[in-house]
Structure formats: C-alpha cells, structure tokens
C-alpha cells in the first residue's frame, strides 16, 4: 500500500508591500529604525565617558531599560502564543456570533474578557492584533485592549494587596477600567468605517487570507495545527517586538531623567494633581500588575482620585504601549485613541473627586 505524503504545513507568511503609501510608510519606518539604532549605539559607546554624571545616568538607564524589557518580553511572547492559538483554534463562527461586525453587545462582552483571559498590557497588543485578523470587530477589539489589563483577577488582587484590602479602591479601579473601555468602544462603533483606524497590512490580512479557518486546513493533523499557530505567534513576535523595545527605551530614558517628586510638589489643586499623576502614568510605563504598589506610595501625598487616575490610565496608555499600538493602528488613530482615553479618564476622575467621599 502506497503511503501518501503529508501535505506541507501552511505557515502564514506576510504579503509583500505593493501600494505607494505603504512603501513610503515603510521607508519612514526604516528611517526611524535606523535613527533609533544609531542613537542607542552612540549612547552605549559613550558609556566610557569620563563624566561621572553621565556614567551614573547610563548605569541607571541600563538597569531600567533591561529590566523593563526582561519583564515585558515574556508576557509579550505568551501574548503572541495565545494570539496564534486563537487564530488557529477559535472558530470564525464563534467570533462572528459574539464579536463580529455589527454586534454592539460584543463591546460590552469584550470589556469582561480580561476576567477569563488575564493579560497584562505587554501581552494584549499582539492578542488584539490577532483578534482583529480573525474578524473581531474593531470597537470590541479596542474595548478588550483597554479593559483587559485592568479588568482581570490578577490586577484586582495586586491592587487589593497594595491598598491593604481597600475594596473600594479595587472596585473603583475595575469599574472605571470597564466603563472607560466600553465607552470608547461604543464611540468607535459610531464611526462609519472603523477599519480605517488600523494599518493597511492588518486590514488586508483581516480578510482571513491565511485560510486557517478553511475546510482544507481543518483536515491537517493536530501537531501541524499547533506548529502553524506557533508560526503565527513567531511572526507576531518578530513584528511587534521592535515596538516594545523602542517603547521600553523611551520609557527608561524618561524614567531615569525625571524625578518622581517633580510631579507631586507642583500643586495642591486636584484638577492639576490628577492631570500630573496621569502624565506620570504615561511616562512611567509600569506593568498593570505592579502599578498599584507604586500608586499606593502616593497615598500620603495626593488625593485618591489622582491615585485612581494613575492606575486606570497607565494600563491603557503609556509610551511603550503607544509604540506597540503602531503595529495595529494608524498614527492618527493612535492620536485619537490617546486623546479619547486620556480625556475620558481625566473627566471621570474629576467627577469622582467631586462626588465621592475620600476612599483611600
């Protein structure tokens, strides 16, 4: 009996760029990448400087940079793996039913998904990228991206520990995270063409060009499917990884040169201190599982609403995340998302500051 040769595993590979805007965008990306490499290289080489202040700066910067990357990369790798598994094993019909285009209830549901898939913000971007490729509606994907790192049990636990089991703070953080994410999801759902928010290659691939969901694909052995999923994850890592590194670099740089006390000593006015704490959250790029411990150290110095603003905004918007968003969203969309997120969180915190009695 003749044994049939198993079919080759259809590993996904990227489409070549064709359109002029994409070529221009790629050229600009190359230029930015080259500039970043040159800058980082010069910074490293100049470490032999005799200037003591500079040497100290470089030492602290190196610690900050490598520790942020080492902390974030594993979670991003796990995120890409989860994304690859979603691509291969989650049926398209299921996605269409709950999170497909036109399913507004999907936004409300997506806000809770972090409870079932607890992920930090480093893992969420590759997962969301993959979810969009799979066919999840843009508003639902954005809602999950914003709420996932806050509305999840690990972050709720770490917040409870940092605030000595102050359940008001835990509930407020979780509730605000859900509210802001759903509100932004619903605003995006009002757009005529939310697809225009995402970059071209993601938009093209979201036509399910990989054929993972096809009947032919379903016939291949399980191990082949797993290898296929890992292939997706690997490509996502190689694609998104550079954004993480650049984001971590900028974050570490600012973390090294800006003293924490410069934020707290500026004003007693709640509307200024809330704003400053939110700016600090964007600059500090803390992991959502660790930020509560940092926020809690400000309890003697700033009102609860400002601490809450720090913890609600940080997992949704920071420098590292903004760089990673570039792998999914257009630059104008990132600007829009940033302004929306910052504005809504800020207004919400002002309302909380006025209406709620002290809760910390």
Partner 1 sequence: MLLRLLNISLLLVWAFFLVWLLTYGKGDLIRLIHPRLWWVLALAAGVLFLFFISFIVPHKQSGGETKTLVELPALLILLIPLLFFLNARDARLDGSAVQNRFNADESGFYSNNLPLFDLFDDTESSDMTFSKILREPQKYENQDVAVVCQSFVHEQLPENTAMCFRFMITCCAADAVPVFIFLSHQDSLKMENDRWIKVSGPLSVISNEGMEFASVGVEALEYVEEPAFPWAL
Whichever of 37 and 356 has its CB closer to partner 1, that residue is 37
Going from the C-alpha of 175 to that of each of 122, 183, 251, the distances in angstroms are 21, 12, 27
Give 73 or 90: the residue with its C-beta nearer to partner 1. Answer: 73
Residue 174 beta carbon to partner 1: minimum distance, rounded to whole angstroms: 19
Nearest to 138 by CA among 185, 93, 177: 185
Between 208 and 242, CB nearer to partner 1: 242
Could you tell me the CA-to-CA distances from 139 to 94, 111, 268 in Å, in that order?
17, 11, 37
Give whichever of 214 and 265 is closer to partner 1, judged by the CB atom: 265
CB of 17 to partner 1, least distance (A): 8
Contact 103, 140 (CB under 8 A): yes
Count of C-beta atoms within a 10 Å radius of residue 198: 22
- As measured in angstroms, the least distance from the Cβ of 228 to partner 1 is 8
| Closest CB to partner 1 among residues 101, 234 | 234
> Residue 51 CB, nearest distance to partner 1 (Å)?
13
As measured in angstroms, the least distance from the Cβ of 182 to partner 1 is 28
Distance between CA atoms of residues 74 and 2, nearest Å: 45
Of residues 78 and 115, the one with the C-beta less far from partner 1: 78
Q: How far is the CB of 37 from partner 1 (least distance, A)?
A: 5
> What is the C-alpha separation between 107 and 305, in angstroms, rounded?
26
Q: How far is the CB of 338 from partner 1 (least distance, A)?
A: 22
Cα(201)–Cα(145) distance, rounded to whole angstroms? 19
Which backbone phi and psi does 329 adopt, to 5 degrees?
-110, 155
Burial label, 102 (beta-carbon count in 10 A; 0-12, 13-18, 19+): exposed
Host H or E run for residue 83:
helix 52-89
CB of 4 to partner 1, least distance (A): 16
Q: In degrees rounded to 5, what are phi and psi of residue 198?
A: -100, 160
Q: How many residues does the chain have?
A: 360
99 or 298: CB nearest partner 1: 298
**φ and ψ of 317, to 5 deg:** -150, 110
Q: What is the DSSP letter of 169?
A: H
Would you say 171 or 211 has its CB closer to partner 1? 211
Nearer to partner 1, 12 or 275 (CB): 12
CB of 52 to partner 1, least distance (A): 10
Closest contact distance (angstroms) between CB of 223 and partner 1 is: 10
At residue 318's C-alpha, the angle toward residues 163 and 345, to 5°, is 65
Alpha-carbon distances, residue 292 vs 87, 160, 295, 352 (angstroms): 33, 9, 5, 18
Q: Is the CB of 101 or the CB of 299 nearer to partner 1?
A: 299
Nearest alpha carbon to residue 241 among 337, 129, 144, 150: 129
């Amino acid at each position: 009996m003749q044994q049939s040769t198993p079919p080759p595993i259809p590993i996904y590979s990227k489409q070549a760029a064709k359109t002029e805007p994409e070529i221009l965008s790629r050229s600009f990306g190359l230029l930015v990448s080259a500039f970043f490499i040159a800058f980082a290289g010069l910074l490293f080489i100049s470490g032999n400087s005799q200037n003591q202040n500079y040497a100290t700066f470089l030492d602290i910067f190196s610690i900050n940079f490598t520790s942020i990357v080492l902390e974030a990369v594993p979670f991003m790798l796990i995120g890409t793996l989860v994304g690859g598994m979603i691509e291969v094993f989650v049926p398209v019909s299921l996605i269409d039913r709950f999170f497909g285009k036109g399913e507004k209830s999907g936004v409300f549901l997506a806000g809770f998904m972090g409870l079932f898939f607890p992920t930090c913000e480093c893992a969420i971007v590759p997962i969301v990228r993959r979810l969009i490729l799979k066919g999840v509606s843009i508003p639902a994907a954005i809602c999950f991206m914003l709420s996932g790192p806050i509305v999840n049990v690990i972050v709720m636990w770490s917040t409870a520990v940092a605030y000595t089991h102050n359940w008001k703070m835990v509930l407020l953080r979780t509730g605000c995270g859900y509210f802001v994410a759903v509100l932004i999801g619903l605003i995006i759902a009002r757009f005529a063409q939310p697809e225009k928010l995402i970059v071209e290659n993601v938009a093209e691939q979201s036509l399910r060009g990989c054929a993972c969901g096809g009947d032919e694909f379903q016939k291949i052995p399980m191990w082949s499917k797993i290898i296929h999923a890992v292939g997706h994850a690997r490509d996502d890592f190689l694609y998104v990884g550079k954004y993480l590194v650049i984001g971590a670099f900028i974050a570490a740089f600012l973390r090294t040169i800006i003293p924490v006390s410069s934020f707290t000593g500026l004003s007693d006015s709640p509307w200024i201190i809330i704003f400053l704490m939110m700016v600090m959250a964007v600059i500090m790029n803390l992991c959502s599982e660790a930020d509560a411990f940092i926020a809690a150290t400000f309890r003697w110095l700033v009102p609860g609403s400002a601490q809450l603003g720090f913890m609600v905004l940080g997992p949704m918007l920071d420098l590292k995340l903004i760089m990673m968003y570039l792998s999914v969203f257009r630059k104008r969309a990132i600007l829009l998302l940033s302004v929306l997120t910052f504005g809504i969180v800020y207004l919400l915190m002002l309302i909380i500051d006025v209406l709620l009695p002290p809760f910390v």
